[in-house]
Amino acid sequence: MLSNYEAIFKQAGIGVEFSYGDNPCLHIKNSYLIRGKNNIERYLRFIHRTDEYKKLCSVGYTRTFKGEINEWAGHNVLYRLGYKPHQTGSVDIDQKEPYWRRIFYNILSIFEVNDNGF
């Protein structure tokens, strides 16, 4: 798991998993618990410092930092709107995410406010 940061994530109630196969993926379980782009960015910076994330990049994961933030924030917005909460409460940031969906998350992420939510 996230050796150096495991306690931080456990305390926040989220889990982080990495998939290194054909479609490298960063999976954040219960991502809806981290609200606001500033907080999402902070947690992603922790993840980026791990050996597991470096390994993910070494097998072809090239998602941008902004793209990761937008997808996570987009999931949060959908979750708060009540859209498929069993799916949108966690986020899979896949390497092979369709381009149209990346645009959709970019638009949705505008509605993820920074601190006290909507």
Each residue's pLDDT tens digit, 35-61: 999 999 999 999 999 999 999 999 999
Is 117 inside a domain boundary? Answer: no
Q: How many domains does the chain have?
A: 1
Backbone torsion region of residue 39, taken as left when φ is above 0, otherwise alpha when ψ lies between -120 and 50, otherwise beta: alpha
Domain with 53 in it: 6-111
In a domain, 35, yes or no: yes
Asked if residue 104 is part of any domain, the answer here is: yes
* Position 118 confidence tier, pLDDT thresholds 50, 70, 90: very low
In a domain, 118, yes or no: no
Query: Would residue 69 count as lying in a domain?
Result: yes
